[in-house]
Structure 1
Amino acid sequence: MTLASSPLRRLLPDAVLLFVAILWGGSYLATQDLAMASSAAAVMCARFVPSAVILLSLSLARPRTTLRESALPGILLGSLRAATIALEAIGVTLTSATNAGLIIALSILLIPILESALTRRRLSPALIGSILLALAGIALLVSGNGFVAFNLGDGLILIAAATRALLGVAEARFTMGRDADVLGLTTVEITFGAIIFAIWGGSSLMEHMPDFTATNWLVVAYLVLGCTIVAFLGQLWATKQTSASRAGMLLGTEPGWALLVGVLIAGDRIGPLGYAGAAILLFATWWGARAERRWRAEGIGSPREDSPVPENAT
């Protein structure tokens, strides 16, 4: 049995995506603490500008490196990423964390719907069931304080869920089955976002930076190295190995990890419903892995409806 066909090799993308979800789950508390010492705009600037500098240095240090081929897709991914993060950052200040966690998780459902529309393949009942079950698990996990009335913040988070779904599908389209330069794409994506967030939050960051404590700088390092560089590279690489639907469901566990971080670090409590939601989410993830592999395997070799018919076809 070769490494390429080994169970470890097949599980590696899932493990990477779960690790990314864990990193992003911890970013909520980290961003909240840093924003209290500065502003949401300053946090985005402090997160993206150093990340762009580091990735640009790594990319340009490679022999025969060119970012030209990654420019257009990277700018598109960067636009979607920046829009998603900005909408989340503003929306979460206008609504409850419970509402935000529930609504952003809708991207889990939107991604396979978009992917199914693009490939013109119907989702299997098992895959649909696992996605809905995952949403139910997330709802239980974050519903300890109840779901309050829909407001402007909820609307912004809903738009963020849509842009996150588009981002997931776009990443898959630009990487799956192609010799995509993951580092180049991520570099252009983050650099584009850095320009936007530098314009938005640069002055605020410069104003508050002299007052940052050692803890604040550790949070910045976590957001830069973990939640941006490692997470974005890992997400793009893992999505290239699997599918947008599978990646979306695994990354959709992010609210659960965010709640776990709150329980372990901030002393939050989730109660019986939260633990039930965690168990449901774990089962849905396992079920979804099996359903997604079967759905993707059944699609291999099946021509799309818009594919050209070979000239020698009868």
Structure 2
Amino acid sequence: MSFPSSSISRLLPDLVLLIVAIIWGGSYLATQELAAASSAAAVMCARFVPAAILLISVNLARRKVRLRDSALPGILLGTLRTATIAMETIGVTLTSATNAGLIIALSILLTPILESALTKRRLPLPLIGSILLALTGISLLVGGQDFSGINLGDGLMLLAAATRALLGVSEALFTVGRKADVLSLTTLEIVVGAVIFAAWGGNSLLEHVPNFSVSNWFTLAYLCLGCTIFAFLGQLWATKHTSASRAGMLLGTEPGWALLVGVFLAGDRIGALGYMGAAVLLAATWWGARAEQRWRGAGLAAIMCVCKVAFDQ
């Protein structure tokens, strides 16, 4: 059985976003383990500095370096990305992975709300319903995990959910319908984070690196290559070919994958309620993707108009 190339091209951004969500789902456990062997600041430095060096080298090897053309949007996106990663990394060390997963999932709700405000288009009822259903699924997933009271870590994760939603909308604004160079934008995003995190956690990283185990090095490679380089490139490329709301919905499955990682790698138990929540989350994602596609198809002209007015004057 063969699939038309047009169908594959439509499905590819969704597949990439889903893979990114799976990879990020494992980042909670990986970050906690590596931070326990060093510090949160060291983890962020270790993720971003090697990634920045690698991507700068790739850009310099290109025939036409476009970093200068992407400077302003790259710096703006990098600032949002850095703030989000910093709050997520510190937050997950101050609260439980369960709390972190539930709170960060609020970005599912915030992303289409922000995009709707930007384009001045009312969200359709099916999309609103799918968002609420997704949040219900996430609540069921963590329902048996004893959600604790709000603490500093929870507050940081809440702020991270807001900046993640703003980042998703900003990425769509800079890329959808525009000749944006995804590699240059991603490189500048990571360079901004690398500079900040090197100044913040460089000394801590150098202090702890000699004591890293083989497992720590594998975890570091996963966070740097998978959760940073591939995930950031994949998210930006997929958002360029879809929309912030659709990307937010698919990336919103991340907490479910985080719990699955906990079940299979950390021995966590989620019970029947948790599996019910996983099924609800998958159904909500499918429903939301269809609803968002219809909404986006009807209002693409509005988004293009906003982009042109905001950046072409």
TM-score, scaled relative to structure 1:
0.93
Aligned 1:160-199 pairs, distance under 5 A: 160-199=160-199
Q: Distance in 2 between matches of 1:121 and 1:225?
A: 37
- Corresponding letter in the other structure for 2:244: A
Equivalent residues of 1:119, 1:304 under 8 A apart: no
228-237 vs 143-152, greater mean Cα deviation: 143-152
- Corresponding letter in the other structure for 1:153: G
Q: Counterpart of 1:267 in 2: which secondary structure?
A: coil
Stretches of 4+ aligned residues off by more than 4 angstroms: 1-4, 301-308
- Corresponding letter in the other structure for 1:68: R
Residue 147 in structure 1 maps to residue 117 in structure 2: no
The answer for the alignment partner of 2:135 in structure 1 is 135
The answer for the alignment partner of 1:98 in structure 2 is 98
- Corresponding letter in the other structure for 2:167: L
- Give percent identity, aligned residues only: 73
The answer for the alignment partner of 2:73 in structure 1 is 73
Q: CA deviation at 1:305?
A: 9.4
The answer for the alignment partner of 1:244 in structure 2 is 244
Q: CA deviation at 1:152?
A: 2.2
The answer for the alignment partner of 1:159 in structure 2 is 159
> Greater Rg, structure 1 or structure 2?
1
Q: Distance in 1 between matches of 2:80 and 2:112?
A: 17
Q: Kindly tell me: are residues 121 and 267 of structure 1, through their superposed partners in 2, closer, same or farther at Cα, counting changes over 3 Å?
A: same
Q: Kindly tell me: are residues 298 and 250 of structure 1, through their superposed partners in 2, closer, same or farther at Cα, counting changes over 3 Å?
A: same
Q: List per-residue Cα deviations over 1:204-251 (Å, max 9, x = no partner).
A: 000010111121111111111111111100000000011100100111
RMSD (Å), alpha carbons: 1.9
Equivalent residues of 2:171, 2:244 under 8 A apart: yes
Q: Kindly tell me: are residues 306 and 78 of structure 1, through their superposed partners in 2, closer, same or farther at Cα, counting changes over 3 Å?
A: closer
Q: CA deviation at 1:174?
A: 0.5
Q: Distance in 1 between matches of 2:238 and 2:171?
A: 10
Residue 24 in structure 1 maps to residue 24 in structure 2: yes
The answer for the alignment partner of 1:38 in structure 2 is 38
Equivalent residues of 1:87, 1:156 under 8 A apart: yes
Q: Distance in 1 between matches of 2:302 and 2:240?
A: 20
Aligned 1:47-126 pairs, distance under 5 A: 47-126=47-126
Equivalent residues of 1:38, 1:205 under 8 A apart: yes
* Structure 1 unpaired stretches of 5+: 309-314
Q: List per-residue Cα deviations over 1:26-83 (Å, max 9, x = no partner).
A: 1111111111111111111111000000000001110021311111111111111111
Q: CA deviation at 1:306?
A: 7.6
Q: Counterpart of 1:289 in 2: which secondary structure?
A: helix
Count of equivalent residues: 307
* Structure 2 unpaired stretches of 5+: 309-313
Q: Kindly tell me: are residues 302 and 229 of structure 1, through their superposed partners in 2, closer, same or farther at Cα, counting changes over 3 Å?
A: closer
Q: List per-residue Cα deviations over 1:116-155 (Å, max 9, x = no partner).
A: 0000111110011111111111111123222222222222
Q: Kindly tell me: are residues 297 and 37 of structure 1, through their superposed partners in 2, closer, same or farther at Cα, counting changes over 3 Å?
A: same
Q: Counterpart of 1:92 in 2: which secondary structure?
A: helix
The answer for the alignment partner of 2:299 in structure 1 is 299
Q: Distance in 2 between matches of 1:252 and 1:2?
A: 27
Q: CA deviation at 1:301?
A: 4.3
Q: Distance in 2 between matches of 1:149 and 1:227?
A: 29
Aligned 1:218-257 pairs, distance under 5 A: 218-257=218-257
Q: Kindly tell me: are residues 212 and 300 of structure 1, through their superposed partners in 2, closer, same or farther at Cα, counting changes over 3 Å?
A: closer
TM-score, scaled relative to structure 2:
0.94
Q: Distance in 1 between matches of 2:204 and 2:150?
A: 30
Aligned 1:193-208 pairs, distance under 5 A: 193-208=193-208
Q: Distance in 2 between matches of 1:179 and 1:48?
A: 26
- Corresponding letter in the other structure for 2:245: S
Q: Distance in 2 between matches of 1:284 and 1:7?
A: 22
The answer for the alignment partner of 2:311 in structure 1 is none
Equivalent residues of 2:186, 2:233 under 8 A apart: yes
Q: Kindly tell me: are residues 306 and 206 of structure 1, through their superposed partners in 2, closer, same or farther at Cα, counting changes over 3 Å?
A: closer
Q: Distance in 2 between matches of 1:140 and 1:30?
A: 24
Q: Distance in 1 between matches of 2:218 and 2:44?
A: 15
